[in-house]
Structures are given as structure tokens and as C-alpha cells.
Structure 1
Amino acid sequence: MSDLFGSPPTEVVDGLEQLVTGSGEPVTVFAHGFAGDIAGTRPLGSGVTGRRVFFHFRGHGRSAAPPGPWTFGDLAADLRTVADRAGATRALGASMGSGALCRLLSETPDRFERIVCYLPAPLDGVRPEAAVSRTARLLSAAEAGDPAAIAAAIETELPADVRGTPAGHAYVRQRAAQIREHPPAPQIGTLWREPAVLDVAALAGFTGRALVLGCLGDPVHPVAWAERLAGLLPKAGLFVYDDPAVIWHNRRDLRERVSAFLND
């Protein structure tokens, strides 16, 4: 997964760290998941034409971390700030980023022409125990600054057949280094005190096209969430992978599916 790694130049604008690649129209903004980073969303946009804007939500990377508690309304405001500045007409949200994107759309249904929701987060704020434990484990390790604990927390995210491989070791090293240098703010743990989207019925007002991508067998992102979101968004397509380790085992198909939808 070599394109996950490296340290491309970024800049902090309006308190949010971002990286801009490509040129021309359309402009697509990419929103990462919990404790994620720009490097993790870049592969999802590698085949997307036009200008691509990757950014860090508040409390991630070099982005500012205002006092909490935070809500998905705050994350939606971050996404809106980046998208408005760039003139983005398309967006991709991964996991937590998908929740922020849906919150924005519930407030401004006509903001984007096309969106992709990859492994969407729960709209009602109720998460499975696997997700709660993962959040607590990573935030605790990051706050303690314990390299071994950080690496161990990251390794649990990997599929069994990737752990112990050169690619797995490289991924853990890269992610651990990012988290040690810029640990996610503890305020991120307060997000789920209320639903990501306060009024899910408002999503019916979305005027663009959507692609929702889910998978089977992922305890952190149950497929029911993807199915529900696809049912709430008008003109939404749903594709479900049969392998929970999508980015590892189906990366090429994932990139092609995202780019085919956004480039059409």
C-alpha cells in the first residue's frame, strides 16, 4: 500500500490542514474517518479527475483543536469551510467523514452534486461495542504517548492475513508515526453524545447523486448502516463488498468504482 505513505506538502488554512492535488474541474473534497489522516484518503481519490482536496478535521494532524465537547455539526462546519474555499461540488466521506457529510447535507441538501459515503458511520450515534472499544483504545494510547500501545491499537485494525506482513508493518509504522507526531485530540471522543444527523428525514432533500459503499463482516461498520443511508438518500446507488478488509483486498476495485462514479 505504498501510496498510503509519504509526507506530501500540506498547508493550514482557516485552522484546517489540507493538501490539494490535481487541477481543473470538478473539485472534490475528501473527508477521513476517526483518527484518520490525509494519507489514508488519498488512495480513494487517485483515479478521480479534476482538483482533489484532502484535509484533516479538527483535532487531527496539524488542524486546530478547539475546546470540546464536539458534535458532528462541528465536523460538518469543518467540511463546509474546506469545500466552500475550494469551490468543491463533489465530496467523499469515509466512516466518521461520511457522518459529517450527511450532517452537512441535512442542513444544506443542495451543497454537492455528487457524493460517496464509504463505510458510513451511524446516523443515530449508537455504535457497536467494537467501535466504542476501538475509539477508547486508540485515544488512550495516543494520550499516553506509548509507542507500543499505539502500534498495538493500530494493528488490531488490520485483517489477520495482513498482520506480520511487510505491508502490514509499513502501515503500522506510518500510522503510528502520524499519531505520535499529531495525536488525535481527546475531544474527538465526545462526538457520539448525540446523533450525527439530528433529522434523518432531511436527507430526502438531497438533490444530487450518491454512491454508498458498505461491506459484510465489519464489526465497526455494520452493513445495515450503509443500507439505511442508501434508503434515505434519493438517487443513491449501493454497493456492498463481501470482504470487510476492502482497502486491503479490493483496493483496485474500490478506486475504480469511486472514480467511475465521480468522473461520470
Structure 2
Amino acid sequence: MVEGRPVGRVGDVDWLLTGSGDPVTVFAHGFGGGISDTRPLGSGVDGTRVFLSFRGHGGSGPLPPDWTYDTLADDVRQVADLHGATRAVGASLGAGALTRLVADEPERFERLVLFLPAVLDEPRPAEARGRFVALADALDADDEDRLASVVALEVPAEFSGSAAARTYVRQRTVALRAPGMREALRRLPALTAVPSADALRALRAPTSVIGCVGDPLHPASVAEALADAVPNAILHVYPQPGVLWNQRGDLRRRISEFLNSR
């Protein structure tokens, strides 16, 4: 049990339902994250909200060793189809999964929010790859302090040492120690969401793409390229990293106003 209605499962994928009525919006989290990460993004969204936990995360089943963004797209598809979701929000890894899904099924959703997309049609840049390698190496060495120091790089400097930062680092290191995460960390940097950005040209759903400057794991250039590839996209780029730390209220407003538009 978690806060909200009991977690359900479709296939090997857990989900949590909150709210009621139409429209139905599905939320997909980032790598090493979970339902608790995406719930704040839906706080102002009308209707029913469905939060999924990708395989390899939370209580969901394991990721297959040869997983790709197609695997993640299947997770979203199963949950969205089960609940009749017509709208979707993806953060980081979840944005990549949604990008893969709508490239295959451009008419699947009526509205989309793609927050902090990390990859499109090219592998992640060297700095991001290095971060994943450092995490995997720390797991290989079973070095808790080393793992925590790499995770702490995700916290904006102004929050470093705060109680919130300590909680974040502790929860994230626990999540990264889950079975299969080490292997996934080594596999992830080489994967792309789509083979070509042209695969998104048929997508007509209004799409909000939200990125930020200065985050090596989520380059602004990826958000810009994604927004350029989607015909009916709007782009917002925050001028600094750490959006969930220093712009959470504005982000929630942006997401709810976009999705609640008729």
C-alpha cells in the first residue's frame, strides 16, 4: 500500500490510481525513480491520474536484460490502455518511453507533457555517460559513500547539505541498489528513444516539452530537438537546473494548465 488507492498491477507493471472521472492521465517516472516522484506533477491535473512504476523499479517485475525504450513504451501502453488514458506525462526516462510510444502510435494520446527529456535519436553525451558509469562502478565496488557522492551531484548547490538533500540522496541510493540497476546503468547510455526524430512528424497531439539549462543528464538541446520534431509542440526551457528543487510550483502550474486546457 502507498498513499492513495491500493497499487494494482497489469502484467509486471504496478500502478497507483488517484482522482476520478475524465480525462485520465498516465504519469511515467525517471530512471531510479518511482510513483512518489511523479505524484507531485499531477497535483493540479483534472480527472483521474494513473502513476506507473516501470519494470525494474519499485514493486514492479524485473527489466529484461535486453531492454530498450520499446520495453518501457510497452509498460506505459499497458497501463494507459487498462485505464483508458487519453493524456500522458513523462519525466526523463518516462519522457523517452512516451516518445517511443507515440512514434509508433501518433494518435494514442490527446495531450502530452515531456519533462526533462534526456535522449532522442542520439546516445547521451559524454558527461552523462560518465555519470552513469560512475554510479555503476560505485555499485560494483559496493561503496556506499562513493555512490552517495555521485548521486549528490544531482542536487543543486544551494540545497547541498539540507535535510531534503540528505533524504533525496538516501532514497536514490536505495533505489539504485535494486536488482538489475547496475546492469541497467551500463546499458542506458547507449540507448536512444527513437531511431530518428522524423518518426515524430506524424504526431499531432498538443505537446508541452519542458527542459532546462545546465543539467548534463538532461541537455536543453534534447528538449529543443524534441520540440522541433513534434509539429504541435510548445517548448519551455528553465534558465537553470534543479527544476524540481527550485521551480516545482511553477512546473506544476505549467503542467496542470496545459493538461486542463480544453
What TM-score do the two structures reach when normalised by structure 1? Answer: 0.90
Residue correspondence of structure 1 range 1-264 to structure 2 within 5 A = 7-8=2-3, 9-142=6-139, 146-180=143-177, 184=181, 186-187=183-184, 189-264=186-261
Q: Measured at CA, do residues 216 and 194 of structure 1 come closer, stay the same or move farther in structure 2, by a change above 3 Å?
A: closer
Quote how far apart the aligned CAs of 1:219 are: 1.7
Quote how far apart the aligned CAs of 1:151 are: 2.5
Supply the distance in 2 between the matched residues of 1:63 and 1:173 (Cα, whole angstroms): 21
Aligned residues: 259
Quote how far apart the aligned CAs of 1:170 are: 2.2
Supply the distance in 1 between the matched residues of 2:215 and 2:197 (Cα, whole angstroms): 23
3-state DSSP class of the match of 2:194? coil
Preserved CA contact (<8 Å) 1:61 1:184: no
3-state DSSP class of the match of 1:92? strand
Q: Structure 1 counterpart of 2:135, which letter?
A: L
Q: Structure 2 counterpart of 1:153, which letter?
A: V
Supply the distance in 1 between the matched residues of 2:176 and 2:202 (Cα, whole angstroms): 38
1:3 corresponds in structure 2 to: none
* Seq. identity, %: 48
User: Which 5+ residue runs of structure 2 have no aligned equivalent?
Assistant: none
Deviations 1:40-73 (A, max 9, x none): 1111111111111111212112211243221111
User: Which 5+ residue runs of structure 1 have no aligned equivalent?
Assistant: 1-5
Deviations 1:169-221 (A, max 9, x none): 22223333444466636245324444320232121111211000011111221
Preserved CA contact (<8 Å) 2:132 2:189: no
Preserved CA contact (<8 Å) 2:129 2:189: no
Preserved CA contact (<8 Å) 1:68 1:190: no
